[in-house]
Amino acid sequence: MEVNIIGLIDNTYLRPYGSTREIEALIEDTARYGAHSITINPVFLRYAREYMARKGYKFKVVAVVDFPFGAGTTETRVDAVKRYSQYADELDIVAPIGLVKSGLWSEVEYDINAVVETAHREGKVIKIIVEDAYTTREEKLELYRIVMQSGADFIKTSTGFEEKDYAEKLGNKTGAQIENVKLMAELSRKYNPRIGIKVAGGVRTYQQALELMRAAEREPDPMRFRIGTSHMMSIIESMRGIH
């Protein structure tokens, strides 16, 4: 049975040099192929909303927060969540990576709890990006636990903007990796079975998306499993290749 993978996609454009032209193309592709949402930089939130309203498009709008470094203070991150909630339906925020790497776990927990609580108060879905390429297994175990116990709606693998050299020093690969997604699924059984899993970073084929969904142990429901990709067209091409 073919899974409607496209309906699980957060169709993404986050390159820093993108203009309103790219955002319009992203919106049109999302409408044409039936992706779940667009994921964009906050600078284009209002523009995207107004463009979509003119066209009568109703799909979701996702804003990235403190992206791609997760290096802002908790106060600025909470403030951004509030401000972007005016236009965004969902928020993808990078975990405070510097605090994670410093082993300051109580500060990590305080920060993530604060942003999740703020998003939920605003009535928004929030996804925490754990940037798997930058963490050791021990750090993942603790960070995943904190994210799951925070009540976040999703845990998300990567920004797609990781530094490959640093990742390799830790023995990690960039992007969405099966082993990390399996670990998320395993820990979610213990800490938060309801949490959604979003895979992002290098997802380019239908087969890859299916394998990641199986690893996540999630059904094809956009509130349980999501794919963040700027390669939706190559996923569609790979599906055509199957038939």
Phi, psi dihedral angles at 227 (to 5 degrees): -120, 120
Give the Cα separation of 94 and 157 in Å (integer): 10
Give the Cα separation of 53 and 28 in Å (integer): 13
What's the confidence (pLDDT) of residue 107?
98
Give the Cα separation of 238 and 74 in Å (integer): 41
Give the Cα separation of 64 and 54 in Å (integer): 23
What's the confidence (pLDDT) of residue 100?
98
pLDDT tens for the chain, residues 1 to 243: 578 899 999 999 999 999 999 999 999 999 999 999 999 999 999 999 999 999 999 999 999 999 999 999 999 999 999 999 999 999 999 999 999 999 999 999 999 999 999 999 999 999 999 999 999 999 999 999 999 999 999 999 999 999 999 999 999 999 999 999 999 999 999 999 999 999 999 999 999 999 999 999 999 999 999 999 999 999 999 988 665
Task: Give yes or no for a contact between 216 and 203, defined as CB atoms under 8 angstroms apart.
Answer: no
Q: Active-site residues: which are they?
A: 92, 156, 198
pTM reported for the whole predicted model: 0.97
